[in-house]
Amino acid sequence: MDLNAAEAATLLELGELDTLKRLYDTHGLRPGGFGLPVDFRRDEETFQKTLAPLPRLARAAAAMGCLRCPTWVLPFSNDLPFAENFDTHRRRLRACAEILGEHGIWLGLEFVGPKTMRVGKKHEFIWNMAGMLELADAIGTGNVGLLLDCWHWYTSHGTVADILALKPQQVVYTHVNDAPAGVPVDEQVDNVRRMPGETGVIDIAGFLGALAKIGYDGPVTAEPFVPSLKELPPVEACRRTSAALDNILASAGLR
């Protein structure tokens, strides 16, 4: 289960972090990841202001054994041309990765694949696996890899072979979901998705099977963006999501 790093930091400072550890242990849970709390997509002042608390949060996350920090990268900019945007991302994300690295934490970068996210925008930016791996390498801290979402893998026309070519340390975190049936891949809309395995449009078994083959051993988290889930009581929403995860893991031969 993902960690609220701010709450963990407060508990650590109060000397009560063991309470949270026991809560995880009682329910048979392990910390998955914590989202990067830094706004690196806006102006420099905002970036620096939101970067400042990161050492405190990283220290607490590491104390919980939570060593994966995912975030996402916009596939366009209406302000910066590609090269300038790349340099800005490299500089800012390097600052984040250096802080995380001091605590043994990996930074996972998610590319956003749908073509509909880029159409009509002034400057295209990274939107596929190859481009994001190039950025991770350019950051150069040795603790940056991918947040690999099967939705963005599918909408960027990724293949199982692409995943099989990865090293396990290049995948920091994963998301799973499915896509609506009857919609061409280049017309898929980012926030219109389906529960994992619901339609079979995305080859989730191939996706998970390839990750298993390369030795990925991190979280597999559902991110379906299904409005009906929000209308359910939290326990029922969790039950349905858990059942969907169990089904796709079984279909990939991992259960």
- CATH number for position 189: 3.20.20.150
* pLDDT by 10s per residue, the chain, length 255: 999 999 999 999 999 999 999 999 999 999 999 999 999 999 999 999 999 999 999 999 999 999 999 999 999 999 999 999 999 999 999 999 999 999 999 999 999 999 999 999 999 999 999 999 999 999 999 999 999 999 999 999 999 999 999 999 999 999 999 999 999 999 999 999 999 999 999 999 999 999 999 999 999 999 878 888 989 999 999 999 999 999 999 999 997
Which structural domain range is residue 23 located in?
1-62
Could you say which DSSP state residue 189 is in?
A: -
Let me know whether 114 and 234 are in one domain.
Answer: yes
Domain boundary among 12, 39, 62: 62
Report the 10 Å Cβ neighbour count for 250: 12
The predicted model scores a pTM of: 0.95
Let me know whether 46 and 129 are in one domain.
Answer: no
- Dihedral of the alpha carbons of 219, 225, 143, 202, in degrees to the nearest 10: 70
Let me know whether 183 and 86 are in one domain.
Answer: yes
Let me know whether 73 and 188 are in one domain.
Answer: yes
Number of domains in the chain: 2
